[in-house]
């Protein structure tokens, strides 16, 4: 099909409401909510979820059902702005916590709000700007070739506007249930947060957390991905930990400082995990990320070449049709230069001229890669972690060779990696949103401005959230494991100082290579190995529930990103993330102790089991077609 034959839902010659006070305010609120919630979720479990579909249904619930307004492009603008927060959070949490960890080690000062916001904002705006000249090549010319699954699904949701009210109810119901559970478990502390079963014969334990967000993640990912993560957890906790304890005995193995037997006697299986398994997991995760990047090289090379050709077509601002009008390439070029100068000259951002140049070069390259990759395989399969690892390794080596060593070099490398991570995440999200707008007949320039609005607000939000969570619990703790950030810190320090426990890391490397040879998806297994088992065990519960629901669903319901179960679980994730932020505020203010009833009323693991059962029942109730009465 020729591109000029495509007719969007709203014709190009029809002008309808897009950028309105209602769409901007609602979009900003959703950007803050989903940005904060995904930042919390990502720091806790190392995964974020797409906010586009939930933002779209909430938008319809507010604008169409409550305010009685009927503009599909206004709804589209809300989800465009609202989803920016999630994309930004996904990039920031991979790397930014490293700065806080180094400050606690006395290497640098605690990063300021200005530092965090400036780094994230620069990366977010570059992610949008770099995508603009690629729109014609990737969205318009390759319509029908690149599916952009999330962008197309979001357009379908908005087109099915008459279902917006009931769909929005599912999101809000999940949000309310998850918020209540989070308060009961972590606020009032009336139950245990995990169910743990010691397996002493194997010197290990089996445990599962009770949090709704983890089960929501498992449901959204599905049984296959959840199973791979769970397998990784089983390898770590029922293969490697028993082997290390059994054969280690009185051996003192670096980076541990005591005999393995003594570590196990004092800290149990979790002590073995924190001293040894996480390094094996780090090697596997890093290898998985690099493998995914290598596999993408043919696409990367061809896409970059095609994109360079498309840039010769020049600006679309003089286009005859409203649906072809973008921000001009001249404007984009000026913004890129200004941001490069800000990164170089702003004292709060520890990046030198070489770092700023690396950011622009790597940033445009990986924005191009990310935009096409999400068009082919969706945002959830975008190898952002592989891009971040490759950038971090290269930047650390270059900075070290240029004389920037020690803390200065590590901080510079992490800041470069942070901006690149944000660019890759935001450019992928922007391309999905532009695909939605292309199908609906939105004005691209309005969407691009909307993305920048959402990113600007979310940058401030995420900066505040990171500072708040660090003050409340700190990163790398049981509450906030920050797995990707710990991995990036480990890689940067290892390259700069040469102090990684390389034996453990290479065990993870060759485990990952073995999985790749067996054609097993490396990254989900590696993430399961890298995280504590209690997280992947809760995720597999959600995956099993999704499997049960899918057996009762029709083919269209099974593959839908907008079914009630998925939306309900999106609410579960958002609710826990928001209450996590509220509890962090309580912890900083000292209010947390006033609402802690653990010393008087605590149902322990019995209460935790009851909560798990109730959450599973709730997801089944919402997710099963016609409450399970529909036959295949």
Q: pLDDT, tens digit, for every residue of 552-596?
A: 876 555 555 557 888 888 788 778 877 887 888 888 787 878 888
According to the model, what pLDDT value does residue 113 have? 92
According to the model, what pLDDT value does residue 450 have? 95
Q: pLDDT, tens digit, for every residue of 151-200?
A: 877 787 777 664 445 566 787 888 889 889 999 998 898 999 899 999 99
Contact by Cβ (8 Å): 410, 496: yes
- pLDDT for residue 300 is more than 70: no
Contact by Cβ (8 Å): 230, 541: no
Q: How many CA atoms lie within 13 A of 146 on its CB side?
A: 30
According to the model, what pLDDT value does residue 456 have? 94
Plot region of 590 (φ>0 → left; ψ -120 to 50 → alpha; else → beta)? left
Spatial separation of the C-alpha atoms in residues 486 and 220, rounded to whole Å: 25
Cis omega (within 30 of 0) for bond into 93: no
Contact by Cβ (8 Å): 518, 291: no
Mean pLDDT computed over 265-275:
88
According to the model, what pLDDT value does residue 83 have? 86
According to the model, what pLDDT value does residue 239 have? 95
- pLDDT for residue 22 is more than 70: yes
Q: How far is CA 82 from CA 52, 302, 405, in A?
A: 7, 32, 40
pLDDT, the chain, mean: 83
How many other C-beta atoms lie within 10 A of the C-beta of residue 6? Answer: 13
Contact by Cβ (8 Å): 47, 94: no
Q: Which of 68-77, 440-449, 513-522 has the lowest mean pLDDT?
A: 68-77
Mean pLDDT computed over 425-437:
90
- pLDDT for residue 616 is more than 90: yes
How many other C-beta atoms lie within 10 A of the C-beta of residue 585? Answer: 13
According to the model, what pLDDT value does residue 164 have? 47
Pairwise pLDDT comparison (140 vs 313), residue with the higher score: 140
Q: What are phi and psi of 147, to 5 degrees?
A: -75, -25
- pLDDT for residue 29 is more than 50: yes
- pLDDT for residue 313 is more than 60: no
Work out the percent of the chain whose per-residue pLDDT is above 90: 30
According to the model, what pLDDT value does residue 311 have? 53
According to the model, what pLDDT value does residue 162 have? 45
Contact by Cβ (8 Å): 167, 79: no
Q: pLDDT, tens digit, for every residue of 524-555?
A: 898 888 878 998 899 999 999 999 998 887 65
According to the model, what pLDDT value does residue 134 have? 79
Using DSSP, state whether 259 is helix, strand or coil: strand
Contact by Cβ (8 Å): 245, 264: yes
> pTM for the full model?
0.74
**Angle between helix 384-401 and 483-497 (nearest 10):** 30
Spatial separation of the C-alpha atoms in residues 568 and 435, rounded to whole Å: 25
Mean pLDDT computed over 415-437:
90
Pairwise pLDDT comparison (238 vs 270), residue with the higher score: 238
Spatial separation of the C-alpha atoms in residues 281 and 302, rounded to whole Å: 32
Mean pLDDT computed over 41-66:
74
Q: Which of 149-158, 239-248, 292-301 has the lowest mean pLDDT?
A: 292-301
Beta strands in 156-255 (DSSP E): 194-199, 204-209
Mean pLDDT computed over 5-33:
87
Would you place residue 49 in the very low, low, confident or very high pLDDT band (cuts 50, 70, 90)?
A: low
Query: What's the chain's length in residues?
Result: 632
According to the model, what pLDDT value does residue 609 have? 94
């Amino acid at each position: 099909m020729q591109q000029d034959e495509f007719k969007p839902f709203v014709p190009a010659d029809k002008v309808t409401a897009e950028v309105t006070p209602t769409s901007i305010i609602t979009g900003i609120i959703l950007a803050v909510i989903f940005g904060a919630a995904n930042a919390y979720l990502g720091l806790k479990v190392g995964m974020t979820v797409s906010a586009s579909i939930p933002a779209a249904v909430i938008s319809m619930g507010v604008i169409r059902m409550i305010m009685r307004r009927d503009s599909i492009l206004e709804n589209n603008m809300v989800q465009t702005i609202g989803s920016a927060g999630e994309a930004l959070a996904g990039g920031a949490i991979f790397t930014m916590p490293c700065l806080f960890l180094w400050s606690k080690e006395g290497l640098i000062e605690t990063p300021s709000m200005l530092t965090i916001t400036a780094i994230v904002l620069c990366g977010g705006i570059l992610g949008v700007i770099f995508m603009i000249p690629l729109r014609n090549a990737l969205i318009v010319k390759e319509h029908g070739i690149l599916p952009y699954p999330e962008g197309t699904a979001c357009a379908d949701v908005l087109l099915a506007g008459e279902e917006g009210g009931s769909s929005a109810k599912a999101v809000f119901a999940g949000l309310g249930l998850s918020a209540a559970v989070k308060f009961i478990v972590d606020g009032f502390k009336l139950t245990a947060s995990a169910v743990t079963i010691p397996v002493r014969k194997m010197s290990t334990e089996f445990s599962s957390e009770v949090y709704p967000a983890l089960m929501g993640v498992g449901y959204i990912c599905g049984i296959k991905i959840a199973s791979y993560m769970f397998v990784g957890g089983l390898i770590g906790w029922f293969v490697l930990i028993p082997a290390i304890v059994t054969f280690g005995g009185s051996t003192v193995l670096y980076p541990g400082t005591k005999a393995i037997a003594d570590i196990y006697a004092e800290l149990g299986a979790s002590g073995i995990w924190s001293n040894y398994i996480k390094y094996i997991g780090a090697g596997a995760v890093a290898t998985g990320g690099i493998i995914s990047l290598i596999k993408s090289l043919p696409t990367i090379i061809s896409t970059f070449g095609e994109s360079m050709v498309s840039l010769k077509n020049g600006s679309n601002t003089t286009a005859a049709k409203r649906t072809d009008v973008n921000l001009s390439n001249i404007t984009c070029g000026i913004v890129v230069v200004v941001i490069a100068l800000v990164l170089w000259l702003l004292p709060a951002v520890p990046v030198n001229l070489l770092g700023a140049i690396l950011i622009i070069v790597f940033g445009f390259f990986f924005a191009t890669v990310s935009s096409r990759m999400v068009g082919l395989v969706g945002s959830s399969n975008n190898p952002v972690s592989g891009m971040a690892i490759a950038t971090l390794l290269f930047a650390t080596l270059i900075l070290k060779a240029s004389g920037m060593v020690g803390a200065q070099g590590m901080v510079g490398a992490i800041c470069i990696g942070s901006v690149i991570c944000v660019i890759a995440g935001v450019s992928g999200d922007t391309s999905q949103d532009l695909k939605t707008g292309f199908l609906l007949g939105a004005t691209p320039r309005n969407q691009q401005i909307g993305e920048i609005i959402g990113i600007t607000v979310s940058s401030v939000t995420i900066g505040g959230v990171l500072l708040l969570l660090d003050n409340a619990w700190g990163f790398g703790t049981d509450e906030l494991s920050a797995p990707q950030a710990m991995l990036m810190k480990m890689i940067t320090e290892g390259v700069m100082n040469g102090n990684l426990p390389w034996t453990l890391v290479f065990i993870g490397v060759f485990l990952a290579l073995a999985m790749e040879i067996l054609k097993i998806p490396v990254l989900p297994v590696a993430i399961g190995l890298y995280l504590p088992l209690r997280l992947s065990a809760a995720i597999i519960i959600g995956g099993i529930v999704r499997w049960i629901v899918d057996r009762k669903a029709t083919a269209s319901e099974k593959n839908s990103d907008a079914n009630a179960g998925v939306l309900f679980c999106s609410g579960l994730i958002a609710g826990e993330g928001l209450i996590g932020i509220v509890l962090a505020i309580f912890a900083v203010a000292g209010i947390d102790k006033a609402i802690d009833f653990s010393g008087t009323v605590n149902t322990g693991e019995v209460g935790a089991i009851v909560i798990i059962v109730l959450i599973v029942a709730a997801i089944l109730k919402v997710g099963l077609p016609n409450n399970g009465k529909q036959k295949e």
